[in-house]
Amino acid sequence: MKPIKVAWICHFCNEDINLELNLKKKCSEMAPWISELILLFEKQKEIELHVVSPYPTITKSKFIVKNGIYYYFYGIGIPFWGRDWPWFFKFDYLSNFIFNKWRVKKIIKIIRPDIIHLHGAENAHYSSSIIQFKKKYPIIVTVQGFVSFTTANKTFLLKKRIKTEQKILREFTYFGYRTKKMGCDIRKFNPNAKLHWHQYPIHKVKIYQVNKKYDIVFFARISRDKGIEDLLKAVDIVKKRKNDVSIIVIGNSSKNYLKYLKELCTEYMIADNVIWAGFLPTQDDVHRIVSMAKISVLPTYHDIVPGTIIESMFLQVPVVAYGVGGIPDLNANDEVVKIVEKGNVERLAIEMLLLIKSKENRSILAEKAFIKANEIYDNSRILPDLIKAYKSMPSQK
């Protein structure tokens, strides 16, 4: 039987692709769940997979074939230059990503897929390109998260992302989802949505046998939405009971926001308690440092089931988090994550302190979380779920 030709529109970067493209200026690792998902398609014959992705460090489109997967990378930003548009003249946003849409259209015309699969409606720089194919191809959209639920200040760029995301959620029919809450949220935008369950794979986590060097680790995009400001307030409270409390923060942030957070630490008198590790190039680098912490804390204001929590569970580092999105589902049968009501910083601090002080409680929670993670996140189920979704899509040819 002829394989189904599926074109993914997504974005990702990894070291293997950097090597294949032989670039002087490499792209930092990004969206590792896409890289892991691609690997699942290398050893099957039912789907012919074509991956279409922007690559921020190239000026001309690149095509490679690796392990039976077809890759099409296109440059973004200023044509022929290989750099992003300057902040004071965001032509890509002002033009509604006209160049990116044109580049993707050319690639899709070459592929002539049976199905297009968009990964992530929230990333407007590539997700906006899907609109032009609405009446031409069967399309499934997998939701990675909801930028529409952000609590950040609505800048022009953010408003553009939200508008693009909501247009996609309202105008398309078939969606991939991975938690009950996500399914409900999709249907808030689109009551007629047809939902297809599938998880994203989890990178095989190496267990590091290291000494505990930090009390707390935060690893995520550093933003108010991810709860970093609440966490710093909680550390201030904890310090009154444990003066030498230590926290390491891993992740990206704008210079201005990082400056604000450091000023906040000075105001709280916890500047000496916080280590800013910045962005680390690989997941393995992140996991090694995470393993050195007694607890992982993520007081995110909205999310699905964050990779931070899943990876912490596999690393056997106990988690404290706000009970938003699909996070409470983890505790359906037993407590595997300490959950706190969103915005309750006092309770967040109490739960953090209790775990920091009790090695026994940390061990119990970590063991239960590790077992739960292995039960839920079984990568062997993902490929059959996706193939089933593709086969159920109506043909437009």
The tokens describing 198, both together, are 């599938």
pLDDT of residue 211: 93
Domains of the chain, earliest start first: 4-202+379-392 (3.40.50.2000), 214-376 (3.40.50.2000)
The predicted pLDDT at position 80 comes to: 61
- Give Cβ neighbours of residue 191 (< 8 Å, ≥ 6 apart): none
Give the pLDDT score at 88: 65
Report DSSP state, residue 360. H
* Contact between residue 118 and residue 142 where contact means Cβ atoms under 8 Å apart: yes
| Cβ–Cβ < 8 Å for 259, 271 | no
Residue 83 is predicted with a pLDDT of 66
CA distance 310 to 364: 17
pLDDT in tens, the chain (397 residues): 789 999 999 999 888 888 888 877 777 788 889 999 999 999 899 999 999 999 877 878 899 999 999 999 998 866 666 666 666 667 778 888 898 999 999 999 999 999 999 999 999 999 999 999 999 999 999 999 899 988 777 788 889 999 999 999 999 999 999 888 899 999 999 999 999 999 898 877 888 889 999 999 999 999 999 999 999 999 999 999 999 999 999 999 989 999 999 999 999 999 999 999 999 888 889 999 999 999 999 999 988 888 899 999 999 999 999 999 889 989 988 999 999 999 999 999 999 999 999 999 999 999 999 999 988 888 888 999 999 999 999 875 5
Neighbours of 223 (CB within 10 A): 19
160: Cα separation from own chain's centroid: 19
